[in-house]
Amino acid sequence: MKSSSTYDVIVLGAGPAGLAAGYAASKAGASTLIIEREERAGGILKQCIHDGFGIIRFQQKLTGPEYAERYIRLVEEQAVTVLTSTFVIKVNKKEDGFELQLVNEKSGVFSLKAKALVLANGCRERTSKQVFIHGARPAGVYSAGTAQYFVNIMGYLPCKRCVILGSGDIGLIMARRLTLEGTEVVGVYEAKSTPSGLARNISQCLEDYNIPLHLSHTVTRIIGTDRVEAVEISKVDEAMRPIAGTQQLVECDGLILSVGLIPENEIAEDLGIKLDASTKGPLVDQNFMTSMEGVFSCGNALHVNDLVDYVSESGELAGEFAAAYGRRHSERRLVDIGYSNKDFLYVVPQYIDAASDNKNVVLYFRSRDVRYDAKVAIKCGNDKLHEKKHSVMRPPEMEKLELDLNKLDINGANKLEILMLEG
């Protein structure tokens, strides 16, 4: 690779989003390069050995490694290079695109140019120090992903008797995984009054193994200096504040934290790209382009998805639009998509480019709380552009709706609204 190389599209990250973006960009005719900081492509899928991936994308129930291998093969078929063990030091915006400063063992520090960038950096787990719990952080406190790495990649059992805090999917998956490998999982504790993970994971990971789920409970103290010896559990009120006098001690040598994922956007922030306070990902239009021309975002860096199939879907679209970016000449005309925080956790994309040729808009959203028989409508001024009844919407389950802009007149509009109406 020459240091002066210029690519049409450079994708940052070779997880499911980045592999899909690289594959689609190359298939659309763009010269494409994928950069990955780890030694191997595949991202977190490498350690997600459980199944349930790919039902939408491949109409087949695959394990994480199988799903990753499918995309690694697709990328290989397109002859896209994945530059592994390579870190991005800095991205500079230039007049004709972007200049990336990179470092790896083989080439030292070097630079590459790209006309368009796809940010597929994924997300990170909230760490033990970002979670407010009294007491120290001795050995035995692990994020669910770290515990998963120890068990599935290294083959180490991180604890013999553990408590899991948080009912997110990775926590539920780890409750089953640790049980199968011989750890006694005392229970899963969730501060909210409803589970965070998918209903199927409550069923097949907890109920199958008689692991209790305690809603409206949290860990308020970690006991132990060198190693976890016990945790203090408290009931919480509706505002998730611990209720005095409800404390109980649970002896254990491990505390697994499954308390949320945060999109990774250090590079986006460095570039001055605007982020959404709700998703923690960049603001994008229907072409996955961020507030900075030529920079696209997809997968869990854009917003935390519940299915990898959607991660790949956004990756393929972002890759395709990044490939088309160089051929575009018209200016963007952005129309805001407004929503109420009382009804929605978030809506992606945050705006629609009315000048774009892409009239097939896919909106992803999550309801604020569990809603039964509610209608979701799109309004433009007084015109109702779309209406659909949803028998049930749950915050852990992302909803998706498609809009055909050819059928809508948004040319004069400055704002679209997405509304939730009683059924």
Tell the burial category of 257 from Cβ atoms under 10 Å away from its Cβ (0-12, 13-18, 19+): buried
Using the rule CB under 8 A, give the single segment among 42-50, 87-95, 268-276, 316-324 that binds other proteins. 42-50
Q: Interaction with other proteins in 43-72: which residues (CB under 8 A)? A: 46, 49-52, 55, 61, 63-66, 68-69, 72
Q: How far apart are CA 199 and CA 208, in angstroms?
A: 13
One of 4, 129, 155, 402 touching other proteins (CB under 8 A):
155
Q: What are the structure tokens assigned to 76, written together? A: 């290989």
Q: What are the structure tokens assigned to 275, written together? A: 């982020």
Contact between 366 and other proteins per CB under 8 A:
no
Query: Nearest 10 degrees: CA dihedral of 392, 299, 196, 351?
Result: -50
> Least distance from C-beta 197 to other proteins, angstroms?
10
> Least distance from C-beta 31 to other proteins, angstroms?
21
Cβ contact 297:318 at 8 Å: yes
> Least distance from C-beta 284 to other proteins, angstroms?
24
Cβ closer to other proteins: 208 or 269?
A: 208
Q: How far apart are CA 209 and CA 249, in angstroms?
A: 23
Q: Interaction with other proteins in 180-219: which residues (CB under 8 A)? A: 180-181, 198-200, 202-204, 208
Q: How far apart are CA 255 and CA 182, in angstroms?
A: 16
Sketch the per residue contact string, 84 through 103, with other proteins: x for CB under 8 A, - otherwise: x-------------------
Using the rule CB under 8 A, give the single segment among 130-138, 146-154, 226-234, 247-255 that binds other proteins. 146-154
- Residues 380-414 as b/e (b if ≥16 CB within 10 A, e otherwise) read beeeebbeeebeebbbbebbebebebeebebeebe
Cβ closer to other proteins: 42 or 263?
A: 42
Cβ contact 149:48 at 8 Å: no
> Least distance from C-beta 212 to other proteins, angstroms?
17
Cβ closer to other proteins: 68 or 324?
A: 68
Contact between 152 and other proteins per CB under 8 A:
yes
Element (H, E) at 313: helix 308-325
Sketch the per residue contact string, 388 through 407, with other proteins: x for CB under 8 A, - otherwise: ---------x----------
Q: How far apart are the first and last CA of the chain?
A: 59
How many residues of this chain bind other proteins (CB under 8 A)?
A: 37
Displacement of CA 197 from its chain's centroid (Å) = 14
Q: Interaction with other proteins in 269-308: which residues (CB under 8 A)? A: 306-307
One of 136, 153, 249, 370 touching other proteins (CB under 8 A):
153
DSSP 8-state secondary structure symbol assigned to residue 47: G
Cβ closer to other proteins: 141 or 393?
A: 393
> Least distance from C-beta 300 to other proteins, angstroms?
16
> Least distance from C-beta 418 to other proteins, angstroms?
22
Cβ closer to other proteins: 65 or 338?
A: 65
Q: How far apart are CA 213 and CA 206, in angstroms?
A: 8
Cβ closer to other proteins: 153 or 421?
A: 153
Q: What are the structure tokens assigned to 266, written together? A: 């250090």
Q: How far apart are CA 58 and CA 42, in angstroms?
A: 17
One of 1, 103, 154, 421 touching other proteins (CB under 8 A):
154
Q: How do the residues of the chain divide into helix, strand and coil, expressed in percent and rounded to 5?
A: 25, 40, 40
**Which chain residues interact with other proteins by CB under 8 A?**
39-42, 46, 49-52, 55, 61, 63-66, 68-69, 72, 82, 84, 151-155, 180-181, 198-200, 202-204, 208, 306-307, 397
